[in-house]
Amino acid sequence: MKILLLDKNHPLITEQLLAQNFILEEDFTSSYDEVCQKIKNYDGIIIRSRIPLDKSFLEQGKNLKFIARVGAGMENIDIPAAEELGIQLINSPEGNRDSVAEHVVGMLLVIMNRLFIASQEVKNGIWKREENRGDELLGKTVGLIGYGNMGKATAKRLSGFGCKVIFHDILPGLSDEFATQVTLDELKQSAEVLSLHIPLTSETHYLVDKTFISEMKNDFYFVNTARGKNVETKSLVEALKMGKVKGVCLDVLEYEKSSFENIEIENEDLKYLLESEKAIVTPHIAGWTHQSKEKLAQFIVDKIVASHC
């Protein structure tokens, strides 16, 4: 089988697939149109996020048997078109679930205990204790939306902090030793911390908007390591200013480029987040550890080999 690699990934993908007698070609620079012209020559594609694989693209891949996305999200692929054309879709959410979970916990500890603020103050010769009094995770009710690989890994860690973890998911019967499944209304009534672990779909676009926030009974901390467009930033900023949202931890932004490589739009809401002591913003790196880079690649290789050798 001949496979086209469109993004740079861990070298183990190339090493192990070559050892299994796959034919590999790397192309990290060609444009969408250039790749479209030659995609018919390949049996498989391995991608991250550089090029969108829409229906037009897929229809030109007349010999495509699979698309492997090194990561979890599949929103840059026209999934219905791929399924209609009989193209297998492979991803590897197992590879970065642990790094995402640790990032969630890390951001919460930083924001709730004012660690970054207090550290910067001391480095600047300012010694404030009462003003930097923290807020404990112990005893908090944490609500997760989405209970796949990322949600489960996050629940496991937060349960160890003595949190009561509840979650809402569109699939039934997912409760386990770390978290209890509830309706969305029940989650809104109880959660003191809210964390998103969902894909970006037409149903989850702007899931957290003004109405959603107003329906949360408690003032709450908010974490998003899923997709930026799951959240209506304007409404989140308003709630942060009002105190309804006590602090925000954002690894993803509504204003990111589709490739996740940089900010696409700058406005007053983004400016407020970047300047606020109540906000932590990181550059889409929750799943971006040294260990996850290798694990993401290994899961992809294992799945390709299992299906096509």
Reading the block at residue 232, the tokens are 């209506």
Q: Could you give the count of Cα atoms lying within 13 Å of 4 in the half-sphere of its Cβ?
A: 23
Active site residue 256: yes
What does DSSP say about strands 141-145 and 164-168: parallel, antiparallel, or unpaired?
parallel
Q: Contact at 8 Å (CB) between 240 and 279?
A: yes
d(C-alpha 62, C-alpha 217), whole Å: 52
Active site residue 227: yes
Active site residue 129: no
Contacts of 77 (CB under 8 A, 6+ apart): 52, 53, 67, 69, 89
State the DSSP code for 144. E
Sign, CA torsion 197/106/71/176: negative
* Marked catalytic residue, from 10, 69, 168, 227: 227
- Describe the strand order of the beta sheet including 2-5 as a list of residue ranges: 23-26, 2-5, 44-47, 66-69, 88-91
Crossing angle, helix 268-275 and helix 233-242, to 10 degrees?
50
Which residue, among 20, 220, 31, has the nearest Cα to 135 in the 3D structure? 220
* Marked catalytic residue, from 192, 232, 254, 256: 256
Contacts of 10 (CB under 8 A, 6+ apart): 293, 294, 296, 297, 298
* Marked catalytic residue, from 50, 103, 168, 284: 284
Q: Which residues form the catalytic set?
A: 227, 256, 284
